[in-house]
Amino acid sequence: MASVDGNISLALLADECGLSITGFNRAFVLSTGLTPHQWLLEHRVQKAMGLLRGSTMPVDEVAAACGFVDKRHFVRVFTRTVGTNPRAWQRAIKH
């Protein structure tokens, strides 16, 4: 969780667990129901929701703080996950 906004190596995680990358992926899906990438994106969106809830940070700054490549990627993933874009979600929770 401490590195959810950074670049996390799947090979390093697998090695830390004493597994191959394939074995790590299988075990991760069995444990969480998500692939490591899906899990990471969901946690980045959760972090972004916390930032949007408590600040007026521009969307591009929220995207960068949560480890998204750019604003477009963040908005696309957030919208797919939450069902609305980040600014609309932020306005809705403040009213």
Q: How confident is the model at residue 8 (pLDDT cuts 50, 70, 90)?
A: confident
Q: Is the pLDDT of residue 37 over 70?
A: yes
**Euclidean distance between CA atoms 62 and 44, whole angstroms:** 10
Find out if CATH 3.40.50.300 is the number for domain 10-94. Answer: no
The closest of 13, 52, 91 to 78, measured between CA atoms, is 52
Domain range list for the chain: 10-94
Amino acid at 9: S
pLDDT (0 to 100) of residue 79: 98
Mean pLDDT of 53-71: 92
Q: Does this model's pTM top 0.75?
A: yes
Q: Is the pLDDT of residue 1 over 80?
A: no
